[in-house]
C-alpha cells in the first residue's frame, strides 16, 4: 500500500512539473518537493459531457437549490434531467480557468450572456451563466489526491439581470483529482444571500478533466 501511495504522489507532481513547470517555471505549481499539498493556480477544468438520460449524481455536473433548514429542493421546470431538482451544467467556451478571472458578459433581457465558464442553461425558462472576478484556485493533498481547500469565492451566477455570489473557499471545497488522467470532481455548497433565492442554499458538483 505504501508503494501505491508513493506512486500516486509522484504522479500528481510529475503531471504538474512536466506539463506546467516544463513550459514555464512555477507557472501552475506552488509548493516544494516535500510539501504535503499542491496548489493548482493555473490550467483549465473542462466539464465532461452531460448525459441527460441518467439522473445525477451518476453522470455529469449539476447544481441544486435547497431551502435552508429543510430537505426541500427547488424544482427547475426547465431542467433536462429526470429529476428536476437537478440542473445540468454544460462546459462553456473556455471552461474554468484556474488563476484567471472570467468576468461577466452581461445580459440580454433576463438571460445571462456569460458563456466562458458554462454554457448558459435554463432555470425556470431564464438562462443563467457563471463568471468570476478573481482567479479560482484549488489545494490538493499530495498523498490522497483529495481537494482540501482553495478559493472559488468569486464564483457568481448571473440570472434574471441579477448577480448571485455562490462561491466557496477553504475547507468548503471538497473532491478529488486523478493524477493519471486529470479526472476531477469538485463539490461545495453556498448560501444565497440576495434576491428571490435568498432562502436557498446552492449545492454544486463539477465533474470533468483538469489540464495544467
pLDDT the model gives residue 14: 62
pLDDT the model gives residue 35: 63
Buried b (16+ CB within 10 A) or exposed e, 197-212: beebbbbbbbbbbbeb
pLDDT the model gives residue 148: 97
Strands 44-47 and 200-211: antiparallel
* Number of domain units in the chain: 1
pLDDT the model gives residue 109: 98
H or E element in which residue 35 lies: none
Domain span at 59: 2-211
Q: Bridge-partner residues for 169, per DSSP?
A: 151
pLDDT the model gives residue 32: 43
Q: What is the mean pLDDT of each run of 10 residues along the chain (212 residues)?
A: 38 58 43 72 92 67 90 92 91 98 98 98 98 98 96 98 97 95 96 91 96 95
Q: Which three cell numbers stand for residue 59?
A: 453522470
pLDDT the model gives residue 69: 76
pLDDT the model gives residue 58: 53
E strands within the chain? 29-30, 37-40, 44-47, 61-67, 87-89, 96-97, 107-108, 111-112, 121-123, 126-131, 137-141, 146-151, 156-159, 162-165, 174-177, 183-191, 200-211
Phi and psi at residue 103, to the nearest 5°: -75, 165
pLDDT the model gives residue 137: 98
pLDDT the model gives residue 49: 81
Amino acid at each position: 500500500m505504501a508503494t501505491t501511495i508513493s506512486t500516486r504522489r509522484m504522479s500528481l507532481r510529475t503531471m504538474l512539473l512536466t506539463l506546467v513547470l516544463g513550459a514555464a517555471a512555477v507557472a501552475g505549481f506552488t509548493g516544494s518537493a516535500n510539501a504535503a499539498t499542491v496548489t493548482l493556480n493555473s490550467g483549465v477544468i473542462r466539464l465532461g459531457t452531460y448525459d441527460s438520460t441518467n439522473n445525477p449524481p451518476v453522470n455529469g455536473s449539476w447544481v441544486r437549490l435547497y431551502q435552508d433548514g429543510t430537505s426541500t429542493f427547488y424544482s427547475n421546470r426547465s431542467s433536462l434531467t429526470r429529476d428536476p431538482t437537478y440542473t445540468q451544467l454544460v462546459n462553456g467556451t473556455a471552461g474554468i480557468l484556474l488563476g484567471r478571472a472570467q468576468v461577466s458578459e452581461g445580459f440580454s433581457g433576463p438571460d445571462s450572456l456569460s458563456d466562458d465558464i458554462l454554457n448558459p442553461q435554463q432555470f425556470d425558462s431564464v438562462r443563467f451563466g457563471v463568471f468570476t472576478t478573481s482567479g479560482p484556485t484549488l489545494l490538493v493533498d499530495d498523498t490522497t489526491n483529495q481537494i482540501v481547500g482553495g478559493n472559488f469565492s468569486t464564483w457568481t451566477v448571473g440570472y434574471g439581470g441579477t448577480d448571485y455570489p455562490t462561491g466557496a473557499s477553504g475547507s468548503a471545497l471538497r473532491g478529488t483529482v486523478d493524477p493519471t488522467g486529470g479526472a476531477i470532481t469538485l463539490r461545495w455548497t453556498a448560501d444565497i444571500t440576495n434576491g428571490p433565492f435568498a432562502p436557498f442554499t446552492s449545492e454544486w458538483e463539477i465533474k470533468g478533466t483538469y489540464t495544467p
